[in-house]
Chains A and B, each alone.
Chain A
Amino acid sequence: MTSLVALHGIDKSFAGIHALSGVDFDVLAGEVHAMVGENGAGKSTLMRVLGGELRPDAGHIEVGGETVRLTGPTDAIRRGISIIHQEMALAPHLSVAENIFLGELPARIAWGTLNARARELIRRLGFDISPRATVSDLSVAHQQVVEIAKALSRQTRVIVFDEPTAVLSMGDAKRLLDIIRGLRREGVGIVYISHRLDEIYAIADRVTVMKDGRRVDTVSPDAVPMDRLIRMMVGRPLSQLFGQKPQTTVGEELLRVEGLTLPNLVRDVSFSLRRGEIVGLGGLVGSGRTEVARAIFGADAITSGTIALKGKVFRPRSPKQAVRRGLALVPEDRKGQGVVLDMAIRKNATMANTAPVTRLGFFSGGRERGVVRGLIEDLRIKLGDMADPVSSLSGGNQQKVVLAKWFHAGGDVVILDEPTRGVDVGAKTEIYSLIHRMAAEGKALLVISSEHAELFGLCDRVLVMGEGRLRGELLPPDYSEENLLTLSMSSGAEERARA
């Protein structure tokens, strides 16, 4: 059988970093080809190449056996390739029918025919949604159905699903798998990206494993058991990045979280942090790790649960209160939330604690420069001038400015969300030693990371989250990426099986 689409030897790099190297991938008519891999393995990048969003640096794309150059998303759609993104690309204020036929609406719309055609497409998927309904009134599951109907309306031959069940309830996820089986019977080629391995075993004909921008292998799920698949996804040597953690004495409890719950995102999370401890928070992206961090810091409202700082109840209402009580957050999105990019390094560094460098609300220039000079030397931030904007710095040094801000603010419970994302290896090692140092100084640290090696290299113990719940805790003797992934994924599968 010939492939509907095939990617051959695709290379793609961003700013000198290889996101994809020499990746082959194809989809046959009437098959579900699943793709798995850790966060950052290159799955999404590859699909953006297939969808015409990114142009590959090397390699070629075949559609129906013919080599093509995709000029953009519209071109890909015209050639029968549709991508259902995790964040849906619907116009929320338009009707279902308008969304389905958006882009090919005639100048004079015959509403009757349009609505009838929309209804028929949706029926084909086994649903009954009014074509006149406004999309924003629909449930997430129904919105996804509209997306699929939209793809079908354009004579699609290949549909890519990118983490489609991440936003769905269990029942809706099951129905989605039924839809996909139906599409497969009709001869549509399907690419299915998911972290949920049980779904992959339920539906995939072939599985391609991605890792670090390369294709590890393409296998049949019948031939490869789940634990071996996980090993293929991770199996990388632990690097010597992490240095030696200084001997610290674990002291009294600084933070205790009990039954933390956030609407739809986090359910019943409990844990505690002690002085001098580095605790990891692992699990897949979207498992609720960041939400836990933001809630403790008062950035998002919590539904229920209690938080205690140094034995005293803390009801986080705003980051201001959190900072006052000695909390610090290094957010995951450095540029969007960690620093004010256009503002001077000096001004960013003192932002969380201006009292020592101001008098009656006015900055004392000399004192501020002195404080910042000390921080720059202490954290070895490489910069031209402290009056330069933070945007002039490399990613690693930008992150050090965020750390400097919290060093200066002096909190003793520090939450670091993806502290080394987008940071080069040298700066990584330095950030690790700063984290060790904070622990040695008697702070309690919570480190969120998608890099499992980082969690194991850095942390005294690792809490594992999956689907908004705390699934368990790993201690150093049990440190392995297999254990972590099994903990975060399989118990979710059991729960779904029970449901």
Chain B
Amino acid sequence: MTDNAAGIGHAATKDTGRRDRPSFGKLFRQFGTFVILLLLLGLASLQSDAFLTERNIMNILRQHAGTGVMAVGMLYVILTRGIDLSVGSISALGAVLTAILVQDWPLWVAILMVIGIGAACGLVSGILVAFLRLPAFVVTLAMLTAARGMALILSNGQPIMLGEPGAALAAFGTAFPLGIPAPALLMLGIFVLAFIVLNFSRFGRLVKAIGSNEEAVRLSGIVTGWYVMSVYIISGALAAVAGIIVTSRSGVGSASVGDGAELDVIAAVVIGGASLMGGQGGVINTFLGVLILGIIGNIMNLAGVPGYHQQVYLGVIIVVAVVLQHASQILRRR
């Protein structure tokens, strides 16, 4: 399957020629996320006049840039039938390291080092999952604790100010080129890149194929372990990027960044229709999943729902979204 949205124009022109007409379930799987987003947008603009303002939309994008970047890595991992619970912690490590390293190194060197360390965390998980065949859940759970611990050690539990040496980074976090927040622009760029790689490269194709049927791929003469390992490296590196983004926005590197973020990220990917059984999912739908998550939070804020209540509603909404995604399968099973 090509990426869902890539098929939009495509499917419309070709469907007439197909022998079997596309089932409702299949269509919903492809466009369901989009429908949910439209419904939410409608609901939100009815609910509050403040919602559909440029300022508010840009705010949502800016706030969820980090989640979005991590969701890209998570999508790749989930496509291989894996999971990465460590992204929130690695983003904290990235945030702290950014604030520390920027004091002594040129900005670009500091950024490369931070991304490299995030990738290294992913490499450790990746080797354990891909070559020692340990369960991804346990391996990345261990990385979750370890990376958070390292962030706390390095920062001594204190927030670290970017200060004068990090002024350029802080400027990036608050810049609005083309009227769009720079972090959101970065996130969009990463989504575009991820889309191209997933749909047009050998790497992307094999990642998807491995999630559907690893043995068939292996017996086609491909060392599947390299690909499985790579997705964890990508996820780790992108988590570090998310940490940099958060630091740039707040001007502070803190070990408490991204606490529980892995759950938001997984939720976004799943709302985007990816299957935790691997092989199914697309970059554009994952982006829509991030937006949906962001909009839900935003609506509740605008409507003045108290914070604790928001969490309950969010849980309910995630379940509803996933039930809708899987409606066809659930109905077929009856």
Task: Please report A residues at the B interface, Cβ cutoff 8 Å.
Answer: 297, 299, 318-320, 322-324, 329, 331, 336-344, 347, 351-352, 354, 358, 361-363, 365, 384-385, 387-389, 392, 405, 409
Beyond the given pairs A337-B216, A340-B209, 13 more chain A to chain B contacts, judged by CB atoms under 8 angstroms and listed by A's residue number, are: A320-B223, A338-B216, A339-B213, A342-B1, A342-B212, A342-B213, A342-B280, A343-B1, A343-B208, A347-B205, A363-B200, A384-B19, A385-B17
CB neighbours (8 Å) of A347 from chain B are 205, 209
CB neighbours (8 Å) of B222 from chain A are 319-320, 351
B330 touches A (CB below 8 Å): no
- B205, B208, B215, B223: the one contacting A318 at CB < 8 Å is B223
A-B contact pairs, 13 of them (CB 8 A): A299-B219, A318-B223, A339-B213, A340-B217, A340-B279, A341-B212, A342-B213, A342-B279, A343-B208, A344-B1, A351-B209, A354-B202, A363-B200
CB neighbours (8 Å) of B14 from chain A are 385
CB neighbours (8 Å) of B208 from chain A are 343
B20 touches A (CB below 8 Å): yes
Check A319/B213 contact, CB under 8 A, given A361-B201, A363-B205.
Answer: no
Interface centre among A329, A342, A385, A388 (most CB of B within 10 A): A342
Q: Interface 1/0s, chain B 18-47, versus A by CB < 8 A?
A: 111000000000000000000000000000
CB neighbours (8 Å) of B221 from chain A are 319-320, 322-324, 352, 409
Interface centre among A343, A347, A352 (most CB of B within 10 A): A343
CB neighbours (8 Å) of A363 from chain B are 200-202, 205
B131 touches A (CB below 8 Å): no
B55 touches A (CB below 8 Å): no
A317 → B minimal CB distance (Å): 10
Q: Are B209 and A343 in contact (CB under 8 A)?
A: yes
Q: Are A297 and B205 in contact (CB under 8 A)?
A: no
CB neighbours (8 Å) of B1 from chain A are 342-344, 389
- B202, B209, B217, B279: the one contacting A361 at CB < 8 Å is B202
A402 → B minimal CB distance (Å): 9
A478 → B minimal CB distance (Å): 34
CB neighbours (8 Å) of B17 from chain A are 384-385
Q: Are A384 and B18 in contact (CB under 8 A)?
A: yes
Complex Cα gap A50–B221 (Å): 43
Check A337/B202 contact, CB under 8 A, given A343-B209, A384-B18, A384-B19.
Answer: no
The interface size of chain B toward A, counting residues with CB under 8 Å, comes to 27
CB neighbours (8 Å) of B13 from chain A are none
Interface centre among B19, B202, B217, B223 (most CB of A within 10 A): B202
Complex Cα gap A358–B20 (Å): 31
- B18, B202, B219: the one contacting A362 at CB < 8 Å is B202
CB neighbours (8 Å) of B219 from chain A are 297, 299, 319, 329, 331, 337-338
Complex Cα gap A47–B331 (Å): 32
CB neighbours (8 Å) of B2 from chain A are 344, 387
B203 touches A (CB below 8 Å): yes
B220 touches A (CB below 8 Å): yes
Complex Cα gap A385–B13 (Å): 13
- B20, B209, B213: the one contacting A392 at CB < 8 Å is B20
Which residue of chain B lies nearest to A323 when distances are taken between CB atoms in the complex?
A: B221
- A318, A341, A344: the one contacting B213 at CB < 8 Å is A341
Complex Cα gap A275–B279 (Å): 39
- A338, A354, A362, A392: the one contacting B200 at CB < 8 Å is A362
Check A336/B200 contact, CB under 8 A, given A297-B219, A319-B220, A351-B220.
Answer: no
CB neighbours (8 Å) of A351 from chain B are 209, 217, 220, 222
A326 → B minimal CB distance (Å): 11
CB neighbours (8 Å) of B18 from chain A are 384-385, 388
Complex Cα gap A358–B201 (Å): 8
Complex Cα gap A351–B209 (Å): 9
Q: Are A340 and B212 in contact (CB under 8 A)?
A: yes
CB neighbours (8 Å) of A385 from chain B are 14, 17-18
